[in-house]
Structure 1
Amino acid sequence: MGEAEEKLRPSLSELSGKERSTRSPFRRRDFSLFWAAGAIDGLGTCASSLFLPLILLGAGYPAGLAGLVASVALVSGLVVSPVAGVFADRWPRKPMMYAAALVAAGAMGSVFTAVALGHVVLVHVLVAAAVEQAAGAAYGAAASGTIRRLVPAEGYARAIGSLQARDQAVQIVGPTLGGVLYQLARWVPVLADAVSFLLVAALSKAIRTDLTPEREAPAGSFTRDLGEGLRFVWAEPFLRFVVVWTAGINALLGALYFHAVFASHARGAAPSSIGLILTLSGVGGLLGALAAPWLVRRVPAARIVTGASWAMVPTAAGLAFASRTWAYGLLLSGVSLIVPSVVVVLQTRAVLVTPDRLLARMGTVLGTAGQGVAVLAPVAAGVLVAAYGGRTVAWGCAGGFAGLALYATLKAGLVSREAP
């Protein structure tokens, strides 16, 4: 073989590196199990959570008390999440995942039994929904520390993108599936949720990879470990940026979605038309998540974050001039199309800059910060639309997006900096 030909041939390490970077994460058995567990979990939860209030209404409880179930369940998950993050960085994560799934299965199984027997009691349903959300938070905390073990570093973007696509697809299919099951019988969605948790437990237990977190020192007190996670996130400039950007985006997106729903209702739109808004938004999010890994491989990370942040400004402003339901849906679909690529960039780098022993705490801190602010979005949107009108709210959200885009532009160096 000639010297020139030898120089032209790439080395084995270069070939293997390129192959690893383009290889689908689904070729890894344990990642496929993890992905499937999350999909089944999401479908089961969507199938039941939307219809628990209807079950209470059918049992004769007033709408206010029925709505209380969803609120209490959501708050319980937010409260438990940081606590679960501490234990997920102490304990073996795989047993924690399937134990949490079994607890959730027991909670929903008890509701199924009550509904099937015709003995629905508000306190029982309330406690069961709170336990399910708390168990889900524990599962999520343990799961947030697994991606580093399941795929190599060069595959993080594709893996996180596939998880984003999964979650978007679940949000589209789940409510429809729940509606179909509810038509069969009131107890069917709850039974499906309980069975889904059993499947999640089985899939989690089947993962062979050791998911036990690394620890540099024996576990300290609970408050010290919790404080360590909070201090790490706040001390790392990039993670501080993620907290601010994610919380702001979640709040503004939530306000936009509910603004579109309230404004459409005020214009006399039918419920089916209002549902079209959420469907189009979900489809946009799914397409964005599917395209995100491809885009992340070809466009610099800082350009994705700043470009997407600025692109949301005119989209939000366009809602101020929208007057038809399909226009609301298309504009929100555009926003949903943009967000997943940014999420993939931020989550990938967050995993890279965080030590393994802090992954779960980092994930729960970021998740709680984002979701905690989003909880206020429905109330804020309703009050603002009633007080100032939909157009004013849309302009306000556009201004909020502009502020976040300016912040992202000023902090672009944090995103482009190489991870340690």
Structure 2
Amino acid sequence: MGEAEEKLRPSGPELPLSPSPSSSPLRRRDFCLFWTAGAVDGLGTCASSLFLPLILLGAGYSAGLAGLVASVALVSGLVVSPVAGVLADRWPRKPMMYTAALVAAGAMGSLFAAVALGRVVLVHVLLAAVVEQAAGATYAAAASGAIRRLLPPGEYARGIAYLQARDQAVQIVGPTLGGVLYQLARWVPLLADALSFLLVALLSRAIRTDLTPEREGPPASFARDLAEGLRFVCAEPFLRFVVVWTAGINALLGALYYHAVFASHAQGASPSSIGLILTLAGVGGLLGALAAPWLVRRVPAARIVTGASWAMVPTAAGLASASGTWAYGLLLGGVSLIVPSVAVVLQTRAVLITPDRLLARMGTVLGTAGQAVAVLAPVAAGVLVAAYGGRTVALGCAGAFAGLALYATARAGLVVREAP
């Protein structure tokens, strides 16, 4: 990040990050529909995706093949995401959203029928999972450009916090719901997922706001549009900061979560105890998202980013000496409590400084960069815990958090700098 480039950028007044305290964004009809569609989508996906490997195992396939299907499906979503971002900045976004939901409903519906009839075929499961992930990435790309049309600028931060809280709640409730449905019959979570996608399509179709992106002149070639999104993120110092911070946080949080799971298992913790650890972490994230609007209104944006970055260091270091379910859970919950406020600050400013015609591409570039690094977290945590022990891994994560906090402190000025 060149210093000369940064000195040329103005240091005027801050962009309006603070949410308006007057009313809840959920009182706006179209935002409420958008929020609800995401909640339904998340619940349906959580209810089914975690149990696809069990369905394959129950059909006689090996654990290796079941894991391969899950990994290929996740990678397909990452591959499709940048492509979908280009299309979402070209095409009307609302039709993309409900069409993607209908495609996902068809994929999960076919899988439900196969499982209900007892005709589980590996290739079919793989194709259905890939189509569902690709459709989900397409929906997410189109949705990433929606908030600017659904809310006024003064409500961006609160709206993003509501979306964060929704996603955290889904991560807590979804797996439990899926477990209950799976106990009824193996095909029930798949049916619930297919029906949830149909409901998402209906809710998205009911949005009245025009979500069509702005265009400047005729569309360029696909490759040029894709490159334009990448260039915009690379050329904007603040967005470069967001890429580094988000990718680092995603990787470290993933490593800490799996470190806690592996270390707890090594200490003889039961599956229910390990589940409690992850639940406490999810509750921390939910509380952090709910508190984010209040915090953003009262604390300067740069102080939120730097303070939260440094607060993660001792919390992560505490995992090195943790030795029980509640200790692991509360420490992970503490880390999860801190992250949402920073995410709200960064996402709000990213939306404010990005032209409407680039919103989807910006969102998919940031999302893909963060998720691609996080994919390595489970493997890295497992290898490192086995090789060096949980204490060393936790201390290593704390050191990495400290490096990220130093970087955030050095770049804090970018968080308050006026958009070009």
TM range (shorter): over 0.9
2:352 is the alignment partner of 1:352:
yes
User: CA shift at 1:390, angstroms?
Assistant: 0.5
2:413 is the alignment partner of 1:413:
yes
Distance 1:324 1:117 in 2: 44
- The one-character-per-residue Cα deviations of 1:175-231 (angstroms, maximum 9, x if unpaired) are 000000001110000000000000000000000000000011211101000000000
User: CA shift at 1:20, angstroms?
Assistant: 5.1
**What is the match of residue 329 of structure 1?**
329
- The one-character-per-residue Cα deviations of 1:340-389 (angstroms, maximum 9, x if unpaired) are 00000000000000000000000000000000000000000000000011
Distance 2:416 2:67 in 1: 44
2:268 is the alignment partner of 1:268:
yes
Distance 1:57 1:371 in 2: 27
User: Where in structure 2 are the equivalents of 1:6-405 lying within 5 Å?
Assistant: 21-405=21-405
Q: Is the 8 A contact 2:19 2:293 kept in 1?
A: no
Gaps of at least 5 residues in structure 2 are 1-17
Distance 1:70 1:216 in 2: 40
Distance 1:20 1:275 in 2: 37
- The one-character-per-residue Cα deviations of 1:50-95 (angstroms, maximum 9, x if unpaired) are 0111111111111111111210110000000000000000000000
> Which one has more relative contact order, counting CA pairs under 8 Å at least 6 apart?
2
Change (3 A) 1:218 1:388: same
**What is the match of residue 11 of structure 2?**
none
Q: Is the 8 A contact 2:161 2:290 kept in 1?
A: yes
Q: Is the 8 A contact 2:33 2:203 kept in 1?
A: yes
Read off the aligned partner of 2:43 and give its amino acid letter.
L
Distance 1:304 1:397 in 2: 21
User: CA shift at 1:19, angstroms?
Assistant: 10
User: CA shift at 1:326, angstroms?
Assistant: 1.2
Distance 2:389 2:327 in 1: 18
Distance 2:229 2:315 in 1: 36
Q: Is the 8 A contact 2:19 2:297 kept in 1?
A: no
Read off the aligned partner of 1:245 and give its amino acid letter.
W
- The one-character-per-residue Cα deviations of 1:4-60 (angstroms, maximum 9, x if unpaired) are xxxxxxxxxxxxxx9955321011100000000000000000000001111111111
Change (3 A) 1:314 1:19: closer
Distance 1:344 1:20 in 2: 14
Q: Is the 8 A contact 2:19 2:157 kept in 1?
A: no
Read off the aligned partner of 2:54 and give its amino acid letter.
L
Distance 1:19 1:90 in 2: 30
**What is the match of residue 4 of structure 2?**
none
Read off the aligned partner of 1:92 and give its amino acid letter.
P
Greater C-alpha Rg: 1
Q: Is the 8 A contact 2:19 2:158 kept in 1?
A: no
Distance 2:341 2:375 in 1: 23
Q: Is the 8 A contact 1:141 1:363 kept in 2?
A: yes
Q: Is the 8 A contact 1:251 1:377 kept in 2?
A: yes
Q: Is the 8 A contact 1:23 1:155 kept in 2?
A: no
Distance 2:401 2:367 in 1: 20
Read off the aligned partner of 1:258 and give its amino acid letter.
Y
Q: Is the 8 A contact 2:234 2:240 kept in 1?
A: yes
In the TM superposition, structure 1's runs of 4+ consecutive aligned residues that sit over 6 Å from their partners are: none
Q: Is the 8 A contact 1:85 1:141 kept in 2?
A: yes
TM-score where L is the length of structure 1: 0.95
Read off the aligned partner of 1:173 and give its amino acid letter.
V
Distance 1:19 1:49 in 2: 35
Distance 1:237 1:331 in 2: 32
Read off the aligned partner of 1:343 and give its amino acid letter.
A
- The one-character-per-residue Cα deviations of 1:124-170 (angstroms, maximum 9, x if unpaired) are 00110010000000000000000000000000010000000000000
Distance 1:331 1:304 in 2: 20
Distance 1:127 1:277 in 2: 33
Instruction: State the secondary structure of the residue aligned to 1:22.
Output: coil
Gaps of at least 5 residues in structure 1 are 1-17
Distance 2:210 2:284 in 1: 36
